[in-house]
A and B are shown apart, each in its own frame.
Chain A
Amino acid sequence: MTTVAAPLDVARVRADFPILKTLVRGKPLVYLDNAATTQKPRAVIDAVRTYYEAQNANIHRGVHHLSEVGTKLFEGARVKVQRFLNAADPREILFVRGATEGINLVAQSYGRSTLKAGDEVLITHLEHHSNIVPWQMLRDEKGIVLRVAPIDDRGEVRMDEFEKLLGPRTRLVSVAHVSNALGTINPVKRMIAMARDRKVPVLLDGAQAAPHLPVDVRDLGCDFYALSGHKLFGPTGIGVLYGKASLLEAMPPWQGGGDMILSVTFEKTTYNRLPHKFEAGTPHIEGAIGLGAAIDYLQTLGMETVRSFEDELLEHGTRVLSEVKGLRLIGTAREKAGVLSFTLDGIHPHDVGTILDQEGIAIRTGHHCAQPVMDRFGIPATARASLAFYNTKEEIDRLAAGLRRVREVFGT
């Protein structure tokens, strides 16, 4: 099905984000660090404020008015997430702190209860540390084996190698939907099809995908999908783990406490139903409400619209950055989203970042929590400009001008 996306009115969109009016060192802020965290639209800020000004109470247990209001808002946010991801049931949406916690939940609950020594978890070379370390912890505890599918010079996963690594002992595939350091969109549907042929469940780290692409977990066919609210224009400290109900039902809880139980005696505890079984303790209520508001906002724009707007921005960025002398783009996958990672000949990314900051331009420099990616390209770090739908071509042009200024300072 082809959907023609309505064009995005970037000036109107920018007016929805109060922080974009900020001046940095007297210059209009150019915020190009969206892969680290995104800015928040007024609607999100208002939803969080309104919650504290008029709706705050603990949820699920209270019989009083405010508790009922809070519960409705919190559970309403879950339904918004469910629809946003096209999950079959709101019970499949678990609120967690972020994508990192979502992956850890799968490792600690699903992984610990089902994986045995010698079982294999397959990841790729372009993963964020958050999709490497939880599996290494499980490896050290259970003796599982971590397999890593290599990437090529463009930053694309070698699918022939990926398929070869899917072996008789593979018990779980865990891959990024979109790479945070390179912007590569992994061919996750193909990966899932390959895994499904071998009855291997798949976890997608969607932290960098959900802000840029329409995500439909049923169309993808993944078993788990993790995302972070703050990268999706919502508050920090809230995220989502989607899991197929059949898997979640069979998994043990990973944290114990209030709200995740039906009854407790010193002899025996009966766990609550989904999704509460995985949500011990008072949750991040305003975070979920804020995330719900962010999703409402994104739905008014339409994720197809967001994607085509950003594709154009990325194309423009790729072109103007390539014209900067000595610039090498790191990550040139054919399918990319949101990220322009690069090095400047003879100038360390940190110095690039400091000098751009003087121009009011915010980018990220460093290894982007993806040191194996840096090692693969033989570099210690990159400078990374990462996009959102409120960025403009003019801002990218200012980035390119800023990079020329960097070269001037260094006399290269």
Chain B
Amino acid sequence: MNDLGDLYQEMILEHYKSPRNFGVLEDATRAAHGDNPLCGDQIAVTLRMKGDVVEDVRFKGSGCAISTASASLMTEAVKGKTKAQVEGLFERFHDMVTGAGSGEGLEKLEVFSGVSEFPVRVKCASLAWHTIKAALEGSKDTVSTE
């Protein structure tokens, strides 16, 4: 049974309306661009690495509540994490939104667990994560959810 309340949780709506870390990092050491061609969502992620650690991160783009809130909460979650830790988070996050895992321990990111009930919205929730992964890997191409 789908439940809209599970999808549009208060925290998601709040981050959609006031996204954190929104903008472009002027002294970024890594950047990537992502888009979801089916819906036109676009996102640019800029980040500054100190050694292997994400020291600071920003995102900019336009998208739905799910993709914007996901990007916003992602920027909060990855700060201070190593590349490997970020990739691990994404893996567990992806498992959660596709229904393959519970997401337990993902803390704030658990608000996206309702996405698994809405398969067409999985791409919205994961766009920012695909993009930061590309940035961390130093890929210059635009990543696409297609």
Name A's B-contacting residues (CB within 8 A): 25, 346-351, 354-355, 358, 365-367, 371, 374, 380-381, 409-411
Does B64 belong to the interface (CB within 8 Å)? Answer: yes
In the complex, per-residue mask of B43-64: 1 if CB is within 8 Å of any chain A CB, else 0: 0000000000000000000111
| 10 residue pairs A–B, Cβ–Cβ below 8 Å | A348-B64, A348-B68, A350-B39, A350-B63, A354-B121, A358-B4, A365-B39, A374-B40, A380-B63, A410-B8
Which B residues touch A367, using CB under 8 A? 39-40
Chain B contact residues (Cβ within 8 angstroms of A): what range? 20 to 34
A351 touches B40 (CB 8 A): no
- Whole-angstrom distance between the alpha carbons of A351 and B65 in the complex? 7
Q: How far is the CB of B64 from chain A (nearest CB, A)?
A: 4
Min C-beta distance of B38 to chain A, whole Å? 7
* Inter-chain contact A366/B40, CB cutoff 8 Å: yes
B64 engages A350 (CB within 8 Å): yes
Instruction: Chain B residues near A349: list those with CB within 8 A.
Output: 64
Give the distance in Å from the alpha carbon of A411 to the alpha carbon of B12 in the complex.
12
Residues 82-119 of B contacting A (Cβ, < 8 Å): 118
Q: How far is the CA of A245 from the CA of B8 in the complex (A)?
A: 57
Instruction: Flag if B8 contacts A358 (CB, 8 Å).
Output: no
Interface residues of B (CB under 8 A from A): 2, 4, 7-8, 13, 17, 38-42, 62-66, 68, 118, 120-121, 124
A374 and B7 CA atoms in complex are apart in Å by 27
Cα-based distance from A131 to B73 in the complex (angstroms): 40
A371 and B40 form a contact (CB under 8 A): yes
Chain A: CB-nearest residue to B120: A354
Told that A350-B41, A381-B39 touch, could you supply 19 new A-B pairs with CB distance under 8 A? A346-B17, A348-B65, A350-B39, A350-B64, A350-B66, A350-B121, A351-B64, A351-B66, A354-B4, A354-B7, A354-B118, A354-B120, A355-B4, A358-B2, A367-B39, A374-B40, A380-B40, A380-B63, A410-B65
Nearest CB in chain B to that of A367: its residue: B40
CA–CA, A410 to B65, complex, Å?
A: 9
B7 vs chain A, min Cβ distance (A): 7
With A350-B124, A354-B118 already in contact, the answer to whether A366 and B38 are too (CB < 8 A) is: yes
Q: How far is the CA of A365 from the CA of B120 in the complex (A)?
A: 12
Q: Within the complex, which residue of B2, B7, B38, B41 is in contact with A25, where a contact is CB–CB below 8 Å?
A: B2
Q: Determine the chain A residues whose CB is within 8 A of the CB of B41 once the complex forms.
A: 350, 380
Q: Which residues of B contact A351 (CB under 8 A)?
A: 8, 64-66
Q: How far is the CB of A150 from chain B (nearest CB, A)?
A: 21
Q: Is the CB of A347 within 8 A of B65?
A: yes
How far is it, in angstroms, between the C-alpha of A325 and the C-alpha of B95 when the chains are bound?
A: 38
* Distance in Å: Cβ of A396 to nearest Cβ of chain B: 22
Chain B residues contacting A381 (CB-CB under 8 Å) are 39-40
User: Residues of A contacting B2 with CB < 8 Å?
Assistant: 25, 358
B13 touches A411 (CB 8 A): yes
Question: From B17, which residue of chain A is reached at the shortest CB distance?
Answer: A346
Q: How far is the CB of B23 from chain A (nearest CB, A)?
A: 18
Name the distance in Å between A334's Cβ and chain B's nearest Cβ. Answer: 28
Q: Report A-chain residues with C-beta under 8 Å of the C-beta of B66.
A: 350-351
Rounded to whole angstroms, the CA-CA distance of A274 and B124 in the bound complex is: 49
Those 3 A-B pairs whose CB atoms lie nearest each other, nearest first: A348-B64, A350-B64, A380-B40
Determine whether the beta carbon of A348 is less than 8 Å from that of B63: yes
